Amino acid sequence: MSPILDYTLWVCFAVLSVALFFALWRLFKGPTLPDRVVALELIASMTVGIIGLYAIRTGRDAFIDVAMVLAITAFLSAIGFARYLEKGSHRDDH
């Protein structure tokens, strides 16, 4: 691996780590439930990015599959949270 790519990967890891810290802060602080849901979705997206960077760093393609599964799961959970926030806990379609 070239030194420039290695340096760039470490900078990206650092930036994502700082952003992850702020997203965790927003998750715990709130102030509203939609803010927490958005923070949770952001954390999932940043985790996908970290896994992708790790896959590039190690050269192992299996981590890309893990990142894709996490991204799909996060997307489906975001849809579920959005439905819950829109309709509340009462559902008419069951």
pLDDT in tens, 47-87: 999 999 999 999 999 999 999 999 999 999 999 988 888 88
Would you say residue 94 lies in a domain? no
Would you say residue 92 lies in a domain? no
The domain of 56 spans: 3-87
Question: What is the number of domains present in the chain?
Answer: 1
Do the beta carbons of residue 56 and residue 9 sit within 8 Å?
yes
Would you say residue 71 lies in a domain? yes
Average pLDDT, the chain: 90
Q: What is the model's pTM?
A: 0.84
The SS3 of residue 52 is: helix
Q: CA-to-CA distance for 10 and 37, rounded, in angstroms?
A: 28
Would you say residue 13 lies in a domain? yes
